[in-house]
Amino acid sequence: MSTLRLVYLDHEMDVFRPTEAQVRRFADLCGDGADVRRCETEAEFLSLLPEASAVFVWTFRQEWFARAPKLRHLCTPAAGRDYFRVVPPPQVAMHYGTFHGAIMAETALGALLACSHGLLPFASAMRRDGGGETWPRREIMLRSRRLAGQTVAILGFGRIGRAFGALVKPFGATVIGVRRSPAPDPEAADRVLPASEIDEILPLADHLASFLPSGPETEKLLGARRLAMMKPGAFLYNFGRGNLLDEEALAAALRRNALAGAVLDVFREEPLPADSPLRDAPNCFLYPHASAFAPDYLDLYFAKAAAEIRQTHAESQSPDVR
């Protein structure tokens, strides 16, 4: 079996930069004496590209394929298909991250609980610069709710959405999953409905969480009309992609108290512009595209990636018996 030569291009974010121990474990997971190299610079990466069987990157340029005659796998930890704008040659397979649910589901559940019990809406009320009541017990009493008996709707009921639903269900909430091709999933949802029924679902949800990818079909899926259809006092969460929302319409809905709040991890433009109407919208809680951050991010990714690469490499080396 030929030697697997794998190249990982570093990222500026620490959580995406593997340690030497992680690189060694990754090589062991790939097996067959795999040669894994970590590159800190693009120049170093390009120098190793001609011998690479597989590369692990956050970005890749179309012209780089010409430098990589032995390349068979273009891999990224990112789940979204919008990270690459390249057309790989026929011999190169694309691999995306499929491990994020374990991390993002916990982040989303934390936001859900914090909103439902008033921890986020009132977290700063008692600070001198909080602008609210100095002892807001009555306000919290009126807003705090257990998840039991509430309805949580999940737009984008794929790997991440199902992981989130599986965490929510034990709290006694009614979970509705929404996806293009619905199928029963009793461990993660009470019902799974087609995306065509979104207008019927919106008035039912106390919490509406999205894990949808970007694309023409999700462009401003939640605009002014649909935001107005949401249940009064509902919370909105977006952990998918920022193209989902009409951000001005959401800011307006929050200002008139049509919604109880929103937790947003992704935005139409990132970083979020300083003049975005979301920055001063009431009860709008903003995260910098960070819902998947965790110390074991790359451990989870490398375990999945190594299994895929090991399997496809073995298949490519097997004699064709027909």
Query: Does residue 241 have an active-site annotation?
Result: yes
Q: Residue 51: count other Cβ atoms within 10 Å of its Cβ.
A: 15
Query: Does residue 143 have an active-site annotation?
Result: no
- Among candidate residues 179, 159, 187, 170, the one with its CA nearest the CA of residue 109: 170
Catalytic residue (choose from 133, 197, 200, 270): 270
What six digits make up the tokens of 252? 């307006």
Query: How buried is residue 274: exposed, middle or buried, by Cβ count under 10 Å (0-12/13-18/19+)?
Result: exposed
What is the Cα–Cα distance from 230 to 258, expressed in whole angstroms?
8
Catalytic residue (choose from 241, 247, 268, 313): 241
What is the Cα–Cα distance from 119 to 110, expressed in whole angstroms?
10
What is the Cα–Cα distance from 121 to 285, expressed in whole angstroms?
9
Catalytic residue (choose from 143, 191, 226, 289): 289
Is residue 243 within 8 Å of 265, Cβ to Cβ? no
What six digits make up the tokens of 146? 């257990």
Query: Amino acid identity, residue 185?
Result: D
Which of 282-311 are b and which e, b meaning 16 or more Cβ less than 10 Å from the residue's Cβ? ebbbebebebbbbeebbbbbbebbbeebbe
What is the Cα–Cα distance from 182 to 191, expressed in whole angstroms?
9
Q: Which residues are catalytic?
A: 241, 270, 289
